[in-house]
Amino acid sequence: MRFVVAFSSPKRSARTVEAAARHAKALGAEVILVRMVPDPNKVGVVAQLISSDRPVDKAKSQIDDVVAKLKEQGIDATGEVRIGEVAMGIVKAAVELKADLLFVGTTTIGAQSPTFFLMKKDPIVHYLVDHSPISLVLIRHDVIPDSELESE
């Protein structure tokens, strides 16, 4: 079994990686972290002018650190950085890597974004929900505490 995790940064993806790791440990699955770095040639003239290898190098370093921590936990883990359009790139990577599940973190759920499944503030997750042929595991970040839900 193979799990692909859409990875953005160690802090922002921590809960998603933790969830994938728990499931991988229980099922003996492999975990592959995939980080998409937007192609500076497709995001505008300013990005082209200031582009360097720094974002890719930083992403590789971050992924290597998280992969090392997963391996310390006894999880078969690897990671890769790809350049391209983020949402379509995640789907393409999951398909190419023959993922059984695609783990994706979602944006904050609360008063600012009351409609979870519409995810108006998260176009990448919205795209994945609509277009991924791989089953998704959506990991909520900054979930409203139960005590706040009861008062609504």
The one-letter code for the residue type at 89 is G
Domain ranges of the chain: 2-150
Q: Where are the strands (E) in the chain, listed by range? A: 2-6, 30-37, 77-83, 101-105, 135-139
pLDDT in tens, 19-74: 999 999 999 999 999 999 887 666 554 544 455 567 788 899 999 999 999 999 99
Q: Are 28 and 84 in contact (CB under 8 A)?
A: no
Q: What architecture (CATH level 2) is domain 2-150?
A: 3-Layer(aba) Sandwich (3.40)
Residue 141 pLDDT class (50, 70, 90 cuts):
confident
pTM: 0.79
User: Which two three-digit tokens encode residue 137?
Assistant: 């595991």
